[in-house]
Amino acid sequence: MKVSRQLKIIEIIENNLIETQEDLAQALKNLGFTVTQATISRDIKELKLIKVMSHDGIQHYAPLKDIGSIYNERVNAVFKESVLTIDYVENTIVLRTLPAMAQAAALAIDSLEWSEIVGTIAGDDTIFVLIRNRDMMAEIVGKFKKLMK
């Protein structure tokens, strides 16, 4: 019973925006499962469900496996909101950010794990990005400009 209920919970949250435990309990009851709030709470914990924000700004339950896409969205948001300008010379890109945002944006860049990037150095409002090969400069600058949009 527990396994079938938990499989059904996964199916429900993958196909519906379930905002609350009450919504989940109602969806299960509609499918013939008798559940209590405590059971729902335990299932959420055991299934490692998390609350995420939809594109419409609605918080809903999702499997933890979706954390990668959530993380990428946040990384892109940090970069987009904080980087102001891009310049480059030889194999070094210089990014200017809002004050106190360079380290967060550099962390976002590092998390992208682009093989063309050797590493980043961040100050308060400036980031230096070392590119492996200057022939890749136009491609990397283009990728950064895309992230800024």
pLDDT of residue 67: 54
Domain 2-47 in CATH 1.10.10.10? The answer is: yes
C-alpha distances in Å from residue 68, one per residue of 15, 65, 128, 144: 19, 7, 26, 20
Per-domain boundaries in the chain: 2-47, 69-148
> What backbone torsions phi and psi does residue 130 show, to the nearest 5 degrees?
-90, 125
pLDDT of residue 65: 63
69-148 fold: Gyrase A; domain 2 (3.30.1360)
Question: Splitting the chain (149 residues) into consecutive groups of 10 residues, what average pLDDT does each group show?
Answer: 86 92 95 93 91 85 68 75 94 95 88 90 96 94 91
